[in-house]
Amino acid sequence: MEILWVFTHQAPVVSVDWWNGVIVSLDMEGRVYIWSDTGPHIINGFKTGVVNPKVVRLSPSGRIAVGGDRISVFTSAGNLVSSYKNPSSTNDLVWISEGRILAVQNKGLVLLDVSSGKAVEVSNHRGCAFTAVDLSPEGSRFITGTCNGHVDMWFVDTLVPYRSWYLASPITDVFWTVDGKILVSTYEGVKFFNERGEEMGGITSYGTLFVKGDPKGEKVLYGGKDEIPKVFNLRRAETHTDLPFKHWISDGDWDENGIRVVVVSFDGKGRVYSVR
Protein backbone atom coordinates (compact mmCIF):
# COMPACT_ATOMS: atom_id res chain seq x y z
CA MET A 1 0.00 0.00 0.00
CA GLU A 2 1.36 3.38 -1.03
CA ILE A 3 -0.25 6.51 0.41
CA LEU A 4 -1.33 9.04 -2.21
CA TRP A 5 -2.97 11.81 -0.16
CA VAL A 6 -4.77 12.65 3.08
CA PHE A 7 -7.98 14.61 3.68
CA THR A 8 -9.33 15.99 6.94
CA HIS A 9 -12.65 16.62 8.69
CA GLN A 10 -13.06 18.67 11.86
CA ALA A 11 -14.89 15.75 13.51
CA PRO A 12 -14.59 11.93 13.58
CA VAL A 13 -15.37 10.41 10.18
CA VAL A 14 -17.91 7.58 10.34
CA SER A 15 -18.49 6.56 6.72
CA VAL A 16 -17.10 6.89 3.20
CA ASP A 17 -18.12 5.91 -0.34
CA TRP A 18 -16.26 6.05 -3.67
CA TRP A 19 -18.12 6.08 -6.97
CA ASN A 20 -17.95 7.63 -10.43
CA GLY A 21 -14.88 9.75 -9.84
CA VAL A 22 -15.77 11.20 -6.43
CA ILE A 23 -15.29 10.29 -2.78
CA VAL A 24 -17.95 11.28 -0.23
CA SER A 25 -17.24 11.22 3.50
CA LEU A 26 -19.54 11.75 6.49
CA ASP A 27 -18.57 12.85 9.99
CA MET A 28 -20.23 12.60 13.40
CA GLU A 29 -21.53 16.15 13.16
CA GLY A 30 -23.54 15.22 10.09
CA ARG A 31 -21.37 17.09 7.61
CA VAL A 32 -20.72 15.59 4.17
CA TYR A 33 -17.63 16.40 2.11
CA ILE A 34 -17.36 15.58 -1.58
CA TRP A 35 -13.77 15.09 -2.74
CA SER A 36 -12.14 14.75 -6.12
CA ASP A 37 -10.55 11.33 -6.58
CA THR A 38 -7.47 12.89 -8.21
CA GLY A 39 -6.19 14.60 -5.05
CA PRO A 40 -7.24 16.22 -1.76
CA HIS A 41 -9.53 18.76 -3.43
CA ILE A 42 -12.95 19.56 -1.95
CA ILE A 43 -15.72 19.77 -4.54
CA ASN A 44 -18.40 20.65 -1.98
CA GLY A 45 -19.34 20.31 1.67
CA PHE A 46 -22.61 20.76 3.51
CA LYS A 47 -24.42 20.01 6.76
CA THR A 48 -27.11 17.35 6.45
CA GLY A 49 -29.01 17.93 9.69
CA VAL A 50 -29.03 14.17 10.31
CA VAL A 51 -28.65 13.32 14.00
CA ASN A 52 -26.46 10.36 14.99
CA PRO A 53 -25.22 9.90 11.39
CA LYS A 54 -23.94 6.42 10.58
CA VAL A 55 -23.66 5.93 6.82
CA VAL A 56 -23.29 7.76 3.50
CA ARG A 57 -23.82 6.16 0.08
CA LEU A 58 -23.76 7.45 -3.51
CA SER A 59 -26.49 6.51 -6.00
CA PRO A 60 -25.65 5.59 -9.62
CA SER A 61 -26.39 9.17 -10.70
CA GLY A 62 -24.45 10.76 -7.84
CA ARG A 63 -27.20 11.55 -5.35
CA ILE A 64 -26.09 11.20 -1.73
CA ALA A 65 -28.02 9.22 0.91
CA VAL A 66 -27.22 9.77 4.58
CA GLY A 67 -28.60 7.52 7.32
CA GLY A 68 -28.98 8.20 11.04
CA ASP A 69 -32.08 9.34 12.89
CA ARG A 70 -33.58 9.77 9.41
CA ILE A 71 -32.72 8.90 5.81
CA SER A 72 -32.00 12.08 3.85
CA VAL A 73 -31.10 12.29 0.16
CA PHE A 74 -29.19 15.23 -1.34
CA THR A 75 -27.88 16.37 -4.69
CA SER A 76 -24.14 16.87 -5.04
CA ALA A 77 -24.82 20.60 -4.59
CA GLY A 78 -26.22 19.87 -1.12
CA ASN A 79 -29.88 20.41 -2.00
CA LEU A 80 -32.30 18.20 -0.07
CA VAL A 81 -34.23 15.81 -2.34
CA SER A 82 -36.17 13.88 0.31
CA SER A 83 -36.12 13.03 4.00
CA TYR A 84 -37.72 10.08 5.76
CA LYS A 85 -38.06 9.93 9.55
CA ASN A 86 -37.06 6.45 10.70
CA PRO A 87 -38.91 4.19 13.13
CA SER A 88 -35.44 3.70 14.66
CA SER A 89 -31.83 4.59 13.93
CA THR A 90 -30.43 3.60 10.51
CA ASN A 91 -27.15 1.70 10.83
CA ASP A 92 -26.43 0.94 7.16
CA LEU A 93 -28.06 1.35 3.75
CA VAL A 94 -27.71 0.51 0.05
CA TRP A 95 -29.23 1.94 -3.12
CA ILE A 96 -31.38 -0.82 -4.67
CA SER A 97 -31.84 1.36 -7.77
CA GLU A 98 -31.69 5.08 -8.54
CA GLY A 99 -35.05 5.59 -6.85
CA ARG A 100 -35.05 3.06 -3.99
CA ILE A 101 -33.02 2.69 -0.81
CA LEU A 102 -32.86 -0.32 1.51
CA ALA A 103 -31.88 0.59 5.09
CA VAL A 104 -31.20 -1.62 8.09
CA GLN A 105 -32.13 -0.24 11.48
CA ASN A 106 -32.30 -1.15 15.14
CA LYS A 107 -35.92 -2.26 14.86
CA GLY A 108 -36.03 -3.67 11.32
CA LEU A 109 -35.69 -3.01 7.59
CA VAL A 110 -36.99 -0.11 5.53
CA LEU A 111 -37.39 -0.13 1.74
CA LEU A 112 -37.82 3.53 0.78
CA ASP A 113 -39.11 5.02 -2.46
CA VAL A 114 -37.16 8.28 -2.68
CA SER A 115 -39.57 10.14 -4.98
CA SER A 116 -42.80 9.41 -3.11
CA GLY A 117 -41.36 9.13 0.39
CA LYS A 118 -43.35 5.93 0.89
CA ALA A 119 -41.68 3.09 2.75
CA VAL A 120 -42.20 -0.60 3.40
CA GLU A 121 -41.14 -1.54 6.91
CA VAL A 122 -40.22 -5.04 8.08
CA SER A 123 -39.92 -5.72 11.82
CA ASN A 124 -36.72 -7.10 13.26
CA HIS A 125 -37.17 -10.82 13.97
CA ARG A 126 -33.68 -11.28 15.44
CA GLY A 127 -34.00 -9.52 18.80
CA CYS A 128 -30.90 -7.39 18.20
CA ALA A 129 -30.19 -4.48 15.86
CA PHE A 130 -29.49 -4.99 12.17
CA THR A 131 -25.99 -3.61 11.74
CA ALA A 132 -25.06 -4.17 8.10
CA VAL A 133 -26.51 -4.74 4.63
CA ASP A 134 -25.24 -5.32 1.09
CA LEU A 135 -26.83 -6.04 -2.27
CA SER A 136 -26.08 -9.07 -4.44
CA PRO A 137 -24.22 -8.43 -7.73
CA GLU A 138 -27.37 -8.98 -9.84
CA GLY A 139 -29.45 -6.79 -7.52
CA SER A 140 -32.27 -9.21 -6.71
CA ARG A 141 -31.09 -10.30 -3.27
CA PHE A 142 -29.42 -8.79 -0.23
CA ILE A 143 -27.65 -9.88 2.93
CA THR A 144 -27.91 -8.53 6.48
CA GLY A 145 -26.01 -8.94 9.73
CA THR A 146 -27.10 -8.34 13.32
CA CYS A 147 -25.48 -7.38 16.59
CA ASN A 148 -26.08 -10.90 17.97
CA GLY A 149 -24.34 -12.71 15.12
CA HIS A 150 -27.13 -13.65 12.69
CA VAL A 151 -26.54 -13.48 8.93
CA ASP A 152 -29.64 -13.56 6.69
CA MET A 153 -30.03 -13.66 2.91
CA TRP A 154 -33.21 -12.06 1.50
CA PHE A 155 -35.11 -11.52 -1.74
CA VAL A 156 -35.58 -7.83 -2.59
CA ASP A 157 -39.01 -8.29 -4.18
CA THR A 158 -40.55 -10.09 -1.19
CA LEU A 159 -38.38 -8.86 1.72
CA VAL A 160 -38.40 -12.44 2.99
CA PRO A 161 -35.23 -14.20 4.22
CA TYR A 162 -34.48 -17.51 2.52
CA ARG A 163 -31.19 -18.57 4.14
CA SER A 164 -29.57 -17.88 7.52
CA TRP A 165 -26.54 -18.80 9.58
CA TYR A 166 -25.03 -17.78 12.88
CA LEU A 167 -21.66 -16.52 14.13
CA ALA A 168 -20.87 -16.28 17.82
CA SER A 169 -19.89 -12.60 17.57
CA PRO A 170 -21.62 -9.33 16.63
CA ILE A 171 -21.65 -8.66 12.88
CA THR A 172 -20.01 -5.32 12.03
CA ASP A 173 -20.22 -5.41 8.22
CA VAL A 174 -21.17 -7.60 5.25
CA PHE A 175 -20.13 -7.52 1.60
CA TRP A 176 -21.29 -9.55 -1.41
CA THR A 177 -18.43 -9.89 -3.93
CA VAL A 178 -18.82 -9.80 -7.69
CA ASP A 179 -18.04 -13.53 -7.89
CA GLY A 180 -20.56 -14.55 -5.24
CA LYS A 181 -18.53 -14.72 -2.03
CA ILE A 182 -20.05 -13.37 1.19
CA LEU A 183 -17.61 -11.43 3.38
CA VAL A 184 -18.65 -11.02 7.01
CA SER A 185 -16.68 -8.97 9.52
CA THR A 186 -16.86 -9.36 13.30
CA TYR A 187 -14.71 -8.18 16.18
CA GLU A 188 -12.56 -11.29 15.59
CA GLY A 189 -11.84 -10.66 11.89
CA VAL A 190 -13.36 -11.51 8.51
CA LYS A 191 -14.94 -14.79 7.42
CA PHE A 192 -15.63 -15.88 3.83
CA PHE A 193 -18.75 -17.84 2.89
CA ASN A 194 -20.29 -19.16 -0.30
CA GLU A 195 -23.93 -18.42 -1.14
CA ARG A 196 -25.00 -21.62 0.65
CA GLY A 197 -23.63 -20.21 3.90
CA GLU A 198 -20.68 -22.60 3.98
CA GLU A 199 -17.50 -21.15 5.44
CA MET A 200 -14.57 -20.92 3.00
CA GLY A 201 -11.88 -19.42 5.21
CA GLY A 202 -11.12 -16.16 6.90
CA ILE A 203 -8.74 -13.61 8.40
CA THR A 204 -8.08 -13.08 12.08
CA SER A 205 -7.93 -9.38 12.99
CA TYR A 206 -8.77 -7.62 16.25
CA GLY A 207 -11.85 -5.40 16.36
CA THR A 208 -12.73 -5.40 12.64
CA LEU A 209 -15.40 -2.76 11.90
CA PHE A 210 -15.74 -2.91 8.12
CA VAL A 211 -14.97 -5.06 5.08
CA LYS A 212 -15.10 -4.27 1.34
CA GLY A 213 -14.24 -6.52 -1.60
CA ASP A 214 -12.63 -5.07 -4.73
CA PRO A 215 -14.51 -4.90 -8.07
CA LYS A 216 -12.69 -7.99 -9.41
CA GLY A 217 -13.24 -10.27 -6.41
CA GLU A 218 -9.49 -10.60 -5.83
CA LYS A 219 -8.76 -8.44 -2.77
CA VAL A 220 -10.38 -7.52 0.55
CA LEU A 221 -10.06 -4.18 2.34
CA TYR A 222 -10.71 -4.20 6.10
CA GLY A 223 -9.84 -2.43 9.35
CA GLY A 224 -11.13 -1.35 12.73
CA LYS A 225 -10.06 -1.02 16.33
CA ASP A 226 -6.42 -1.97 15.75
CA GLU A 227 -6.14 1.28 13.71
CA ILE A 228 -4.27 -0.44 10.84
CA PRO A 229 -5.66 -0.43 7.26
CA LYS A 230 -5.23 -3.82 5.59
CA VAL A 231 -5.68 -5.34 2.14
CA PHE A 232 -5.81 -9.13 1.85
CA ASN A 233 -5.06 -10.74 -1.53
CA LEU A 234 -7.37 -13.75 -1.82
CA ARG A 235 -5.35 -15.46 -4.55
CA ARG A 236 -1.96 -15.05 -2.91
CA ALA A 237 -3.19 -15.28 0.72
CA GLU A 238 -1.04 -12.31 1.69
CA THR A 239 -1.80 -9.11 3.59
CA HIS A 240 -0.59 -5.56 2.86
CA THR A 241 -0.74 -2.85 5.55
CA ASP A 242 0.28 0.73 6.29
CA LEU A 243 1.18 2.69 9.41
CA PRO A 244 -1.59 2.90 12.02
CA PHE A 245 -3.99 5.80 12.28
CA LYS A 246 -4.34 7.57 15.65
CA HIS A 247 -7.81 6.13 16.23
CA TRP A 248 -10.15 3.36 15.10
CA ILE A 249 -10.73 3.00 11.36
CA SER A 250 -14.46 3.28 10.75
CA ASP A 251 -14.94 2.57 7.03
CA GLY A 252 -13.30 2.23 3.63
CA ASP A 253 -13.97 1.63 -0.05
CA TRP A 254 -12.39 0.80 -3.42
CA ASP A 255 -12.26 2.87 -6.57
CA GLU A 256 -14.06 1.44 -9.62
CA ASN A 257 -10.86 -0.08 -11.04
CA GLY A 258 -9.78 -1.85 -7.86
CA ILE A 259 -6.36 -0.18 -7.77
CA ARG A 260 -6.94 2.46 -5.07
CA VAL A 261 -8.65 2.46 -1.68
CA VAL A 262 -9.85 5.08 0.77
CA VAL A 263 -10.07 4.55 4.53
CA VAL A 264 -11.44 6.93 7.17
CA SER A 265 -11.00 7.13 10.91
CA PHE A 266 -12.46 8.53 14.10
CA ASP A 267 -9.50 10.91 14.29
CA GLY A 268 -11.11 12.90 11.44
CA LYS A 269 -8.66 11.74 8.79
CA GLY A 270 -9.06 9.97 5.48
CA ARG A 271 -6.25 8.36 3.52
CA VAL A 272 -6.16 7.31 -0.12
CA TYR A 273 -3.76 4.54 -1.17
CA SER A 274 -2.68 2.79 -4.32
CA VAL A 275 -2.84 -0.98 -4.02
CA ARG A 276 -0.85 -3.39 -6.18
What's the pLDDT at 236?
84
pLDDT along the chain (276 residues), means of 10: 94 96 97 95 96 96 96 96 91 95 94 93 90 96 96 95 95 96 96 95 94 95 94 89 89 95 96 92
Compute the CA torsion angle 107, 197, 259, 97 (nearest 10 deg). -50
The pTM assigned to this predicted structure is 0.94
* CB-based contact 77:67 (threshold 8 Å): no
What's the pLDDT at 21?
93
CATH architecture of 2-274: 7 Propeller (2.130)
What's the pLDDT at 125?
86
Alpha carbons 220 and 154: distance in angstroms, whole number? 23
Domain ranges of the chain: 2-274
Residue 91: C-alpha distances to residues 25, 109, 213, 242 (Å): 16, 10, 20, 28
Q: Convert 39-52 to b/e letters by CB count within 10 Å (16 or more is b).
A: eeeeebebebebee
